[in-house]
Structure 1
Amino acid sequence: MPATWSLITKINHKESSPMSKKLTPSCLIPLQGAQNFRDMGGLRTEDGRTVKKNLLFRAAELTDLTPEDICQLEAIGFKNIFDYRNRGEAELRPDPVIRQAVNTRVPANEADEHAPHVTIEQMFANGQNKMFTQEMMLQLYTRLPMGNAAYRQLMKLLQTPETNLPLVHHCAGGRDRTGVGSMIILLTLGVSYKTVMEDYLLSNVMLETYHQETYERIAKYVSIEELLVIQDTMELQEPYLDASMNSIVDTYKTFHRYLEAEFGIDATARQRIQNYCLE
């Protein structure tokens, strides 16, 4: 029996993760046509400095930005818009032009680059939804930070911040692919992993409406029990990001070695990035 919307509403009013409540939404950029658009500035580093505001931003897809939104973003002076989505996603929902910003798209999940875009309705019609499990998400997060062309290009931009920032990086919801990219950036700047996790989980709060709309669409195809399982899988949770961090540590032992091996960022380059992006 399909789930009902009244039950979905109850499901989605579960208490949010305590970690996600520690960060206030003051980092949210209020836009009419984009969700989860956040300034990564304001976060404290382990040495007591703070990430500068108006340099680094993360977001969900930007397709529906209004003219007023674009004016607001143009005032920030963006130099780069970095898109992690695959070709099908980007062609269906293209990024807008924001004055002088350079639009770059490198898929974070390269295996999906040439896959056609699949709607929720198509996913359930052909049974692909059965592949959406917590184990699948853990495997995705384990793979994402390793040998990834998207993050290599992102970090190449970060290595010359004076010419490439301000920058916004985004995917569809600004949560998974963007979450791992944000982790790499913030750890490079010296933000603690605990704070990185708080920033990651904040997407559950910022995307509450987005998630509810998704569950409403799914409810037509599944039972209440199945919907609960899907929600438990979809909600961002600590083990997902931990899988990315564990992958880095298991392979390279330290984050510093990871930075140097994957991106060519040694101690001198990292200090230069920090000096520009921190205050």
Structure 2
Amino acid sequence: MTQQLMPACLLPLQGAFNFRDMGGIRTSDGRTVKQGLLFRAAELTGLTAEDMRFLEPVGLKTVFDYRNREEAGLKPDPAIGSASLIRIPANAAAEDKPHVSMEQLFASGMHKHFTADMLLNMYAELPIRNASYQHLMGLLRSPEAHLPLVHHCAGGRDRTGIGSMLILLTLGVPYETVMEDYLLSNVTLAEFHQELYTSASAYLDPSEMNAFRSAMELQRRYLDASMAAIVQHYESFERYLEAEFGIDAELRRRIQDYCLE
């Protein structure tokens, strides 16, 4: 992606993609999320020395990683200043499974399991009783101690997308705005996705390729599945916040007062 096409929230880093400042987003009460406090990203292992210098003024306190053990082992998070590195897998069932490269995925035929229905099920399951998001939101409970924070997975789109939804809704951002932020990864990951499709074309016939591309593109219904699951289990986001994370109305106001301006 060229510099001219970068959304303003996308940091101009050379060794990490989809690294975005979640600040500047307007809430329902007219305030905005402060810039320089909350960030979302893809994997960070490629951050360059120049990138580190760029991030230094941010003063990150926490790097939160949703990846499983082997994902993180193959592409470990670098030390970013004095930030604490925390890794709790969003998909706990995959924690001890071997990592499968994209080439292995396509060559073995495992890609046939990567469908829109699979993703819908994943999005519906991840927000409910998930130790990773419980820990993330536990950090948000004490923002003065743990922010600035960057949370990330491999592409910064699915696991990170759900985490971003939880943070932004807690801060009072309207759901439609949260959805816009989620779908922005289709823009910020356009080159990454195209490289993936180019690699996949060596293994897939045209109909398989179309199905894979269709499933891979972030869609409203994916994040809607997460929100629907929350409402199904807890009736409202407010009840979900208190039951899952211990964030009641008073604590939510305190978090908002710290993170909004």
Fold similarity call, TM over 0.5: yes
The whole-number CA distance in structure 1 between the counterparts of 2:209 and 2:110 is 15
1:125 Cα deviation after fit: 2.9
The whole-number CA distance in structure 2 between the counterparts of 1:72 and 1:36 is 15
Of residues 122, 131, 134 in structure 2, which corresponds to 1:152? Answer: 134
Q: Tell me which moved more, 119-128 or 206-215.
A: 119-128
Q: Does residue 130 of structure 1 match 2:112?
A: yes
Q: Does residue 112 of structure 1 match 2:94?
A: yes
Q: How many matched pairs?
A: 256
Alignment of 1:56-205 (within 5 A): 56-205=38-187
The residue type equivalent to 2:161 in the other structure is G
Aligned-pair identity in percent equals 63
SS at match of 1:169: strand
The residue type equivalent to 2:222 in the other structure is Y
TM-score, normalised to structure 1's length? 0.91
SS at match of 2:43: coil
1:221 equivalent in structure 2: 203
1:127 Cα deviation after fit: 2.2
Q: Unpaired segments of 5 or more residues in structure 2?
A: 1-5
The whole-number CA distance in structure 1 between the counterparts of 2:227 and 2:138 is 20
The whole-number CA distance in structure 2 between the counterparts of 1:48 and 1:119 is 44
The whole-number CA distance in structure 1 between the counterparts of 2:191 and 2:167 is 27
The whole-number CA distance in structure 1 between the counterparts of 2:108 and 2:138 is 39
1:267 equivalent in structure 2: 249
The whole-number CA distance in structure 2 between the counterparts of 1:124 and 1:158 is 38
Of residues 35, 47, 65 in structure 2, which corresponds to 1:53? Answer: 35
SS at match of 1:145: coil
1:65 Cα deviation after fit: 0.4
The whole-number CA distance in structure 2 between the counterparts of 1:98 and 1:61 is 13
Q: Unpaired segments of 5 or more residues in structure 1?
A: 1-23
Structure 1 runs (4+) greater than 6 angstroms displaced: none
1:74 Cα deviation after fit: 1.8
